[in-house]
Structure 1
């Protein structure tokens, strides 16, 4: 297991000594995921949070009619889960899918609780991470309410510059809340300018 990326991610907010880093790493499980494989399905109990080592993951909600709404994408150095369900050990509201072959490091909820007890600075790390996620989602809601679809597309390109070529138009459109055809029109108009 290559643990450099995740330890660098942790070090953005807390400093670990060698013993703490080793204990943290011992709790992680590496998982290789095939393209289109779901690591979490709606209604499945959400037991882990995943750190993306490589690849791209997508969290999405599927309604009763089968319509997908993409909630977020996770690139290398990002964390992903169905947070409400993970924290409360509830059935998932979201699906999490690999958009390409990916590798994640997973931390079980019970192990996270052990981590909080043994190394309290992880409470600070995950609090900061959850605050940042809340801020990101609040800004996304405001963008959805205040920006045109074209402006949301340009914001998406700024947020995910390296991934936009690796994500399908249908998935980008579902993230933006528009149809793939409308997204195609936006892209066509962009190239005409």
Structure 2
């Protein structure tokens, strides 16, 4: 749970009592690889903070093709934000990519924390603002960058994960087919040699 407190401390300073209150309102769970934590159509009642392992969020289109929205590695939060904030059925799946230890924070307990530890309202506002900026930048990148440039940005953002993720999921994240991704990587390797 130290990683959770360190994550919060990057943005707000909590007293020992406030830290204890946070820890009393979250749960730590271990999930095996391939476990679905949220399905399309479910209401997202928890946000997830990764202590160990990898989670990913994705959608599935009408042709059954997965489109990766995000990955969460240790020290990162993940949720279907539309569903979590509105408490309406969501569009995302959240799946465990690699065995994971995950802190769960329910929407109800987050609201309690806002009242009891007001600094956390600022903390989550900062997280949401950072997420909004990152999503806007990703949208701009997808519209204006080549697949190679998007892959380069991906390798910088997820440098610790690049060797842990299936190529198919990386291709999906950068918006190309697995076949195109394979050819692109071969071209990049040829350029480097």
TM-score by length of 1: 0.97
User: Among 168, 171, 175, which residue is 1:170 paired with?
Assistant: 168
Match of 2:21 in 1: 23
Deviation at 1:65, TM superposition (A): 2.3
The CA RMSD over aligned residues, in Å, is 0.7
Match of 1:110 in 2: 108
User: Among 64, 80, 83, which residue is 1:82 paired with?
Assistant: 80
Report the Cα distance in structure 2 between the residues aligned to 1:102 and 1:64, rounded to whole angstroms: 29
Three-state SS of the structure 2 residue aligned to 1:56 is: strand
Deviation at 1:91, TM superposition (A): 1.2
Deviation at 1:85, TM superposition (A): 0.5
Deviation at 1:64, TM superposition (A): 2.6
Report the Cα distance in structure 1 between the residues aligned to 2:180 and 2:65, rounded to whole angstroms: 17
Match of 1:144 in 2: 142
Report the Cα distance in structure 1 between the residues aligned to 2:43 and 2:141, rounded to whole angstroms: 31
Deviation at 1:119, TM superposition (A): 0.8
Match of 2:49 in 1: 51
Structure 1 residue 5 corresponds to structure 2 residue 7: no
Q: Any unmatched runs of 5+ in structure 1?
A: none
Report the Cα distance in structure 2 between the residues aligned to 1:67 and 1:108, rounded to whole angstroms: 30
| Runs of at least 4 residues off by over 2 Å | none
Match of 1:65 in 2: 63
Deviation at 1:37, TM superposition (A): 0.7
Deviation at 1:75, TM superposition (A): 0.5
Pairs aligned (count): 191
